[in-house]
Structure formats: C-alpha cells, structure tokens
Structure 1
Amino acid sequence: MDFAGKLAAVAASALLFFSGTGLDPVPVLAWLAPLPVFLIAPSLSGWQAAGAGFAACFLGSTNTWYWSAGSHDLPLWPWGAVVTVCFGLTFAASVALYRALFASPLLAAVGAAALWTAVLHVVSVSNPMGITGTLATTQADVPVVLQLASVTGAWGVEFVLMLVPAAIAAVKVRPAVVAAVALAVTLGGGALRLAGSDEETQRIALVASNQKGWAADLREDTSLLDDYLGQLDALPDGVKTVVLPEAAFGSDEARPAVLVEPMRRLAAARGFDIVVGYAHWSGQAKFNYALVFPAGGGEPQAYLKHNDTVSPTGRDLVVTPGGAGVLICLDINFRDPSQDYAAGGTRLLAIPASDEDLNGWQHSRTAVLRGVENGQAVAWGGRQTMLTLADGHGRIIGERPTGNADGFTTVVADVPLGPGATVYTRFGDWFGWLCVGLTVLALGKAFRLRKYRESPSAHPAASS
C-alpha cells in the first residue's frame, strides 16, 4: 500500500473513533474504529505503526473537546487535552505491539487487546477521578453486548471491542476463530441472560429542577425547596423511591430543620423514601451528602460521598428502607461502592448526580454499566444530566434530559429490580488483572523477538 493509502487508513480510523466514541457515540462504529490502522500496521516500521495509532485515536478523541472547552469538571486545558493524549498513547502502544508480534497473528491480536484493556484498568484503579467514556461505555445502549460485564466487568467488553478488529486485520484462521468464539460467547451469553425475567418491580420517581446552580442556600431562600415539595407531593400513587439531584440544597447546618422537617412529613404522608443531595458547609470544608428520608417518617440517614476530589469522603454504606443502595455521581466511576452494595444483597442503586448537560448521557451510561456489572437496577437522578431509570440488565425503562422549558423534569416508571450479585460481584476485576498479566507476557515475547532479529545468528549470510 502506498503512502496515500496508509494516510487514508489513519484518517478512516480517526473518523470512526470520532463518531463511534465520545458523548453521543454510534455503537457499531466503535467496533470498526481500530480496524484500518491494524490493517496497515504490519507494513509500517514500529515507530510508524505507533504514530499511526496515536494520530487516529488522538484525533478521534477530540470529539469531547467542544464540551470540555466549557467544562468545570474536565477543562480542556490541561485535563481534557491530557485525557485525549493518553487515549492516543494507549492505542499507539497497542498497535505497536500488534505490529511487533504479527509473525504470530493470534498472539498479536490478543496482546493488542490485552494491552489496551490493561492500561485502562490500571488507570481506573489509580486515578482519583476513576474512569468513564471508554469503548465499553459506547455499548451501553446495546444490552446484549453489555451482559459480558456481569462476569468480567467492563474490562471484558473493552477487550472484545479491541480483539475483534485486530483479529479481522490479521486475515488468519486462528485469530479469526478465537475472535468468532469471543463474539459468540458475548452475544449468545448476553441473549441468554436477557431472556431471564426480573419479576419484582419498584415504582421509582426522579425529580430535578431545570434551574441551574449548585446547592440552593437554605439560609437565604426556601422557594426552591417549596417547589420541590410541591412536585413530590404531586407524584402518582405507588411510588416507593424518589431521587433528587446531588447538592440540591446546602446550608451550614448539619441537620437544617427547614429541610428535614417538611421532608420527613412528606415521606411519612406519601409512603415513599426520598433521597436528597445536600451540601453541608462547615468552615472551609464542604461535605457532600445524600440524605435518606424513610417512608416511615423517621430520622434521615446521611450518606457521605465516597469518591470526591474537593470534599471529605466517607466509607459507610447507606441502604434505604426500600432496599436501594445510595451513591453520589462520581462514585459510579469506580468499582465500589456499587459492588459492596451488591455483595450485601442490594438490587437497586439510587444515585443523586450533577453533570454538565452534554456529558449527561455518557455519565448516566457509566451508571448503567455499573448496574449490569453487579445485577442492580439504576435510578440516576440529577441536575443538567439525563434522568435515567434502567433495570439490572442495562435496559432503559424511563429517561428524559433535564433543562427543559418547564420548571421541573420528572421521570416515573415501574423498574424491574436487578437479579442481584453476579460473578463480577464475587471476583471483582479478575479480568482486568488477567489482561495485565497477558500484556506482560506479550511484551516479553515482543522483546525476545526483537533481540533475536538483531542477533548475528538471525542473519547468517551477513555474518559470513
């Protein structure tokens, strides 16, 4: 293939990454995105292969820049750019390893997929922001693919999405057979799992003000609280759990009577649990809580966000009387505490959240992915996001974006509770660590092959 053809392959891969990943992905394109670069990798030098992989994935990952440019959570400079560069470097390493091992096509395909997955896994467990927006997230609206996560976690989905195009590019029987088996297990196992029914349902309501802003200060004005109380009181009969956004209200009191008393009365009168995001300001510290007002009208329980880069964090789990494990927004970027809740028998997650409009779909789908991993239904309720109700198999039951012209956005649906603890719940990130081990083996093999090629005994004619 001439230079123009190789350049076209890089451009095609970049375009597929751009359209198949990001904040509004086309799921099928994520499967195809790595393919053009893998096809040309064997005809390039090692550095050229790495460069082609970097260029394709880096350019494709700029699809989030239009959001990141105005983001507080992930500002384009420097963090949005850093994330884009890191994705590019990860794919570059995968392509370079694929090219180095191409004499053994099966090992090349498995090694490339393992390296990609291993890097993302290590980043997820060492990064204070966790991880979201990877290839696995692109499949969040394809439940038949997502079921693999109940055994392997998201890492199995990442692996298969990289293995299939790498095996196709090899054009050899053995990698093609392995990829076909992996795909058959993914789709066949997914279809079988989806065929099961979740008979127990719970009516859940998500209620969010379309008014932007963080933590309405209850010391200054209670009008938003009054409006929320009116919306909650108007909910239909049969609702068992209500979720409001993260930091819907704030105060310098740990237990402000202006919030607690009316919420307690309403929960008792209507017979539903209310989960409310609440910011408690204490000196220089801000405590990010979710307050749970039980249907019986008793004292509220307080869940302190487990993962936060600007606020003190908690470690205690809180389960509503109705059986929902409580998390807050960023918590779903990590394996815990959703896995801890599942291990304790919880089949529903109630998650107050706060996003930035354009990233609302992607973040809600990370929550859906967590639900599939651990067999839990998901109630994702938040500000400037996608209000989402999903069953424990990742099927969307009810959904609406916030930010409409009306004062509030509300979603109410009867949600099948999840099947409960899964293989992944029991064994955790076993597949992610397996990919780390496979990567080490593949890199060792590539290093030995390079030393062999550079040794005089590999070129007897030249040495004579």
Structure 2
Amino acid sequence: MNSPIRRLAVVLAATALSATLFHLGTGLTPVPWLTWLAPLPVLTLAHHVGARAAFLAASAAWLGGETAMWGYFLDTLELPPPMVASMIVGSALLFGLVVLSSRALMLRGRPLAAVAVVPAAWVAVEYAVSVLSPNGAWWSLAYTQADVLPVLQTASVTGPWGITFLVLVVPAAAAVLLAPLPAAPRAAGRLRAAVTTAIILSLAVGYGAWRLRAPYGEGAEKVASEKVALLAADHPGWVPVASPEGRAILGRYTARIPDLAKRGARVVVMPEKAFIADDATLPVLAAPLARLAAVHHVDIIAGLILKRSGGLRNAAVDFPADGSRPVEYVKHHLIPGLESDFHPGNREAFVPGSGSRWGIAICFDLDLPGLVRDYRRSGATTLFVPAWDFDRDRWLHGRMAVTRGVETGLTVARAARNGDLVVSDAYGRIRAEAHSADAPIASVLTALPTRSADTPYTRFGDWFAWACALLLLLAPASLARVQPGRRRGAAGPRRAPAADATAPDHAVARPTA
C-alpha cells in the first residue's frame, strides 16, 4: 500500500471513529464518558494532515454523529426539512472550522491557544444559538453530563457553557500533546497547555465534589417538612375535559389524590395539556380538583389548554389548599411550529401560601435558562413543572430541567406524560423518578428540601459564554503574531505544488523556537 492510500485510510478511520463516538456520546441518550473522547480522533488527525483533509474529516465526523437526530427533528418535532438540514449540516461545517482554527494555531507555535480555541469557539456557537434560536439552550453538549454530578456542578457558576468547555478542552489538550514534533513548539509550550488544562479540570471537579458535600445535602433530608407528588397518565392528544374520555381520565387522577394527600403530599402536579377546556367546560375540571384541594389541604396543579377569546393558551392552574381563588400560569415559551396557534404568557406564578416561594412553569419554559433565573431572583426555591415529552426524548428533556435547577440552585419537580416524572434538588441529585408508561397512572412522592442554594450563575448570568467569545476574538491576534526567527513580511510556509491534500502542512513549515 503506497503512502497516499495509507494516509487516506488513516483519515477515514479517524473520521469513522469520531463519528461513532459522537453518535454514542451525544443525542437523546448519551453515554457521558464517550462525549469526552468523541472529538479526539479528528482533533489529533488535524495536526498530522493538510487543512482540507482536517476540515473534511472533522465536518464528516460531526455529521455522521448527528445522523440519529434527523428522525427526531423531522418525525417527532416535525421541523421543516430545510431547517433540519441547515442545523445539522451547518453545525458540522462549524465544527470543521473550529478544528481548522486549532490546527492553524498549533502550526504557528501557540499550543495553549490551540487548546483553548476549540472549547471557546463551541461555547460561543452554543450561546449564539441559544440567543438567536426560539428553541433556547436546548442544543448543548452540557446535557450529556447531567448524570455526572461533580461535573454538573460547574453549571452553578458558568451555566451549561462551562460544562461544554470542559468536555472539549480535554480532548483538545490531548490532541496538542499528540501533535508531531516537527509541527510542535518546544516541549515547554505543550507542557503549559497540558498543565493549564489539568488545573482547569481539577478545579472544576474539585469544586463539584466540594459542593456535593455541602450541608444542604444531608441537612435537607432532616429539615424537609413537606412533600410533592407527581402524577401522569399517558394518552394521545388533547382530550376535551367534558367528553366521556376526558371525564374518565380526570377520574383516574382524582382517585389517586386522596391517598397521596394521606401520605403527606403538600402539592400534587399533573402533566401538561392533559385536557382542553373553555369557560363553559372548565368547571368540569375545576370543581372536583378545587374540592379535593380544600378537603385534603393539598395544592393541585393541573396542566390544560384553555380556549378563550378565540385563542389557545397552554396553562397550568393551581387549585390552592386553602380553598382560595385558583392561580393561573400561561406558558411563556412556545414550541416553534407545534404551538404556533397558542398565545404566550408573560407573568410568573407562585403557589399561594408557600413560605419558600414555589413557582410554576411549563415544560419548554425550562429549555431557556433566563426564565428560571428570573424565578430564582424573585425568590423561588422550587419549580413545579407540568410537562409533555415525546417519549424518545424523555431522558434528555428531563435532564435539561435538572440542569436548570443546578444553575440556579432550585428544586425542580417535573411531571411529564410520555416522559419521566422527576424530582431533583439544587445539586442535580434525583430524589424521585418514574417513567409515565410504567403504570396506567404513574406517580412519585418525595420530600421537598426547604433550602435552596444561591449560585453565581443566578447573579451573573452568561458571563462565561461572553468570556469565551472574547477569547475567541483574541485568536486571530495569535495567528497574526510573528514567530521568532521569521522576519516581518516574510511569506508563510508554502506547500510543494504537487503535495497531496492529506499531507501535513508541518512537513514544510519551520519549527518554532
């Protein structure tokens, strides 16, 4: 086998390996430790081959890893094919450019910058998507680590962006260490990059371990005085509450509430859009739930579609334990396309009489960090969240809500049909969990912590994402910096006219002193 064929085989192997690792380490059910490994093959390859081969390999690896998401976007979310193509293909091309940037910095003798540009650029991309897209911060590598609690605690300082940074800085540093000597600067430069990365990772994991040992973890169990119950029955579509089917489903819920109240439930949360009602049929739902709430001294939060004034509203109505007037919350953030006919809300809502300020939100609201931060700044310590998932995305969507809780120091109690019922504390620990399809009507009951955890992210917001954007802006300065021993205005390294596309640039580049 001649040299060009061997190089091509290496490029294809690295691309296939990264694509496989991305496929397993990202998506709807990721394997978290594989996420850290996924970029390594193509990042390492980039320091051994030409720019075109590096770009194509990295882009193809990302594209291959995201193949499983095509069906989810097209069939489950029913997004337009052009939008899906632009998201997946566009992100693949961006990843290729990020890898090229790291390669270029390494060739210029800037190993630390070559490491930093990979996570900084991707954080900037994720943050830009979260700001510019109506889908918010749903697209992030951070959620792959939602079950790795020491890493997840980073979100309390940086938001999800810090976790993405960690996941990418490690393989970027490993790739720089594995770069061939002719293209690499002195060993001291690579050592600085490795030590800096090790310090960042140690500080993050050490902080996470320290935070998980905080008194809140043990003390919360001892001082918890009230409980939350989550209920969910799977059924398709929106059921008119006054129809025979609607009355039957409502009866299944109301039959379970007295027992949960006897077992200590202070709040019962039902799923999103369990029913649809207008002003004429709303009493069919409101009367029995209000009566149960008053008799058993339990707040009951029901998710339903309210048809009023010729429009639809995705609402959660709390029927208070003290028999007072119901509290209505209307979903702020609507799913593009699927909820285009709905009117959004613009007000926060709290459970009346909750000394610890219990807030109410709905499903997709928790895909956007800003709303949750607003609740925390308003004094909320817990969010009750009616939800409706698509089953296949139940783990990911539920863990996004868990991440919001860690970011802001909130307990999150999320009741989803076609999904999971999850209660998580301010540190991302799962206090109770069940799958809605495991029983005709699934339920969980657990104690609510009475303490919250103040976080820097609540106070300072997306400062880390902006810092990464600033770091990214400084990268061109590193590229333009004149290398020692090379006179100003001198031409850069040139490739021989007949060089193969997979041949490394460093084969003809001058090593840095």
Could you state the TM-score of these two structures normalised by the residue count of structure 2? 0.84
* 1:32-431 → structure 2 map (5 Å cutoff): 32-71=37-76, 73-75=77-79, 77-102=81-106, 103-171=109-177, 172-198=190-216, 199=220, 200-201=223-224, 202-214=226-238, 216-221=239-244, 222-235=247-260, 236-253=262-279, 256-282=282-308, 284-308=310-334, 309=336, 310=340, 311-321=342-352, 322=354, 323-404=357-438, 406-417=439-450, 419-431=452-464
Q: Which amino acid aligns with 1:409?
A: A
* 8 Å CA contact 1:345, 1:421 repeated in 2: no
Cα displacement (A) at 1:93: 2.1
- Residues 286 and 47 from structure 1, CA distance in 2 versus in 1: closer, same or farther, beyond 3 angstroms? farther
CA deviation vs aligned residue, 1:23-73 (integer Å, no higher than 9, x gap): 1111100111111111011223333322211111111112333444531x2
* 8 Å CA contact 1:353, 1:381 repeated in 2: yes
SS of match in other structure, 2:137: coil
Cα displacement (A) at 1:444: 4.5
- Residues 261 and 78 from structure 1, CA distance in 2 versus in 1: closer, same or farther, beyond 3 angstroms? same
Instruction: Using CA pairs under 8 Å that are at least 6 residues apart, name the structure with larger relative contact order, 1 or 2.
Output: 2
Q: Which amino acid aligns with 1:85?
A: V
- Work out the CA distance in 1 between the residues paired with 2:460 and 2:211: 19
Q: Which amino acid aligns with 2:318?
A: V
SS of match in other structure, 1:400: strand
SS of match in other structure, 1:70: helix
- Work out the CA distance in 2 between the residues paired with 1:433 and 1:25: 27
* 8 Å CA contact 1:21, 1:134 repeated in 2: no
Structure with larger Rg: 2
- Work out the CA distance in 1 between the residues paired with 2:366 and 2:486: 47
Cα displacement (A) at 1:155: 0.5
* 8 Å CA contact 1:205, 1:410 repeated in 2: yes
RMSD of Structure 2 on Structure 1 (CA): 2.4
- Residues 433 and 257 from structure 1, CA distance in 2 versus in 1: closer, same or farther, beyond 3 angstroms? same
Unpaired runs of at least 5, structure 2: 1-5, 178-189, 496-513
Cα displacement (A) at 1:207: 0.2
- Work out the CA distance in 2 between the residues paired with 1:445 and 1:22: 34
Cα displacement (A) at 1:282: 3.2
Cα displacement (A) at 1:456: 5.4
Percent identity of paired positions between Structure 1 and Structure 2: 38
- Residues 47 and 325 from structure 1, CA distance in 2 versus in 1: closer, same or farther, beyond 3 angstroms? farther
Q: Which amino acid aligns with 1:189?
A: Y
Q: Which amino acid aligns with 1:384?
A: N
CA deviation vs aligned residue, 1:94-135 (integer Å, no higher than 9, x gap): 101111111201001111110000010011011111132521
- Residues 449 and 213 from structure 1, CA distance in 2 versus in 1: closer, same or farther, beyond 3 angstroms? farther
* 8 Å CA contact 2:140, 2:160 repeated in 1: no
Partner of 2:20: 15
Cα displacement (A) at 1:337: 1.4
Q: How many residues align?
A: 458
- Residues 333 and 453 from structure 1, CA distance in 2 versus in 1: closer, same or farther, beyond 3 angstroms? farther
- Residues 24 and 115 from structure 1, CA distance in 2 versus in 1: closer, same or farther, beyond 3 angstroms? same
CA deviation vs aligned residue, 1:163-182 (integer Å, no higher than 9, x gap): 11101111121111111011
Cα displacement (A) at 1:441: 1.4
* 8 Å CA contact 2:242, 2:284 repeated in 1: no
- Residues 145 and 460 from structure 1, CA distance in 2 versus in 1: closer, same or farther, beyond 3 angstroms? closer
Cα displacement (A) at 1:87: 2.9
* 8 Å CA contact 2:278, 2:308 repeated in 1: yes
Partner of 2:506: none
Partner of 2:465: 432
Could you state the TM-score of these two structures normalised by the residue count of structure 1? 0.93
